[in-house]
């Protein structure tokens, strides 16, 4: 399955939009992009060129690459082709993808420091167990020193790691592979467990509602019916509980009620501010504008939550790493001090 990064999609849509805005026909624009394009993006453009030469629509071509272009993008382009507003829609999609890139980068950058600390800790731990402890343990074995329990545990862990390196690597590989298979086969179950962790659930809800509101704004402003927009925007959320609330909103709209009625039904999951703004948007006929304001507010909330989470994680991880490394050092040094004491007593 062909996939594209957000940067590749942004580049493709931006270039197509600029060329179409300059009066260049779509087929010529695609041909021009093919001149200096490589990798998966080139495969997509080749398929797009072939379909355009056969008289097919661009939305149909993009729909053949579901891993690269989601349903929101495909249906927006399809609606634009029917309405003759492809150039405007491509510009809107650029802004949408750009906002998604910034939103995703904000989350990634917040996790870089904790990830580096954990990677450093694992590296130091492996070095101590494979380099330091074996040399110290050989000295202790020759001197026949009575070792304290922490030192014995450290030596046992070192021997286990050195003597069973291949088995440990195979075991880790099996665990990782099993985790990937479990995630792909039981994705919703795995995500529900992760999203239920303290401090994670609130952040995930904010991220989901921010992405949902941003997608719904784009779909509604492009003229798609509210029921279709809700169905498509529901695909961007990760939390199953939020998905149920969105499905309820769609059922309410089909039954002649309002989106806010569905959100109020799921008020334990939906932010109260979102319910109020959606009600105001429905009352004034500016629901798309309300969804834009909601997405901007939730982006801000996600940024604050990430700052708070990293502010808590950083010192906690540092304390854990410090205590762990310090404990191992004490387990190594304690017998040495004991030996020095015995020699001094003599």
Which structural domains are found in the chain, ordered by start? 6-98 (1.20.81.30), 121-346 (1.20.81.30)
Q: How far apart are CA 158 and CA 62, in angstroms?
A: 54
Distances (CA, A) of 36 to 33, 139, 156: 6, 63, 58
Q: How many CB atoms lie within 10 A of CB 75?
A: 19
- Per-residue pLDDT averaged across 326-339, rounded? 79
Predicted confidence at residue 342, as pLDDT, reads 61
What phi and psi values does residue 224 have, to the nearest 5 degrees? Answer: -75, 145
Give the residue carrying structure tokens 């492996």.
Answer: 126
Tens-place pLDDT, residues 182-226: 777 766 666 667 666 666 778 888 888 988 998 888 888 888 888
As a whole number, the mean pLDDT across the chain is 83
Half-sphere exposure (Cβ direction) of 193: Cα atoms closer than 13 Å: 6
pTM of the model: 0.75
Q: 23-77 pLDDT, tens per residue? A: 888 888 888 888 878 888 888 888 888 888 888 888 888 888 888 888 888 888 8
Per-residue pLDDT for 345 more than 60?
Answer: no
Q: How does pLDDT run across 294-305, given as a tens digit for each residue? A: 988 888 888 888
């Amino acid at each position: 399955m062909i996939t594209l990064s957000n940067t590749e999609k942004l580049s493709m849509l931006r270039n197509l939009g600029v060329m179409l805005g300059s009066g260049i026909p779509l087929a010529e624009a695609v041909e021009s992009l093919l001149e200096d394009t490589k990798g998966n993006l080139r495969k997509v453009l080749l398929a797009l060129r072939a379909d355009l030469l056969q008289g097919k629509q661009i939305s149909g071509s993009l729909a053949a690459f579901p891993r690269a272009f989601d349903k929101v993008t495909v249906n927006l382009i399809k609606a634009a082709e029917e309405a003759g507003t492809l150039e405007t829609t491509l510009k809107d999609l650029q802004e949408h993808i750009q906002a998604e890139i910034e939103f995703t980068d904000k989350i990634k950058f917040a996790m870089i420091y904790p990830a580096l600390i954990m990677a450093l800790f694992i590296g130091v731990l492996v070095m101590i167990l494979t380099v330091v402890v074996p040399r110290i343990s050989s000295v202790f074995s020759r001197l026949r020193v009575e070792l304290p329990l922490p030192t014995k545990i450290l030596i046992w862990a070192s021997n286990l790691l050195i003597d069973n390196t291949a088995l440990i690597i195979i075991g880790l590989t099996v665990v990782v592979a099993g985790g990937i298979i479990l995630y792909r086969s039981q994705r919703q179950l795995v995500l529900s467990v992760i999203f239920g962790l303290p401090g994670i659930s609130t952040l995930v809800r904010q991220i989901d509602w921010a992405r949902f509101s941003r997608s719904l704004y784009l779909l509604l402003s492009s003229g798609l019916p509210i029921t279709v927009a809700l169905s498509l925007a529901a695909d961007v959320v990760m939390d199953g509980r939020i998905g149920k609330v969105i499905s309820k909103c769609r059922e309410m709209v089909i039954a002649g009620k309002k989106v806010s009625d569905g959100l109020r039904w799921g008020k334990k999951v939906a932010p109260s501010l979102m319910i109020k703004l959606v009600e105001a948007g429905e009352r004034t006929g500016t629901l798309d504008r309300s969804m834009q304001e909601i997405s901007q507010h939730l982006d801000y909330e996600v940024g604050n939550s990430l700052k708070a989470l990293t502010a808590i994680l950083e010192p906690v991880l540092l304390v854990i790493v410090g205590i762990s490394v310090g404990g191992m050092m004490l387990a190594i040094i304690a017998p040495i001090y004991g030996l020095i004491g015995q020699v001094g007593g003599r």
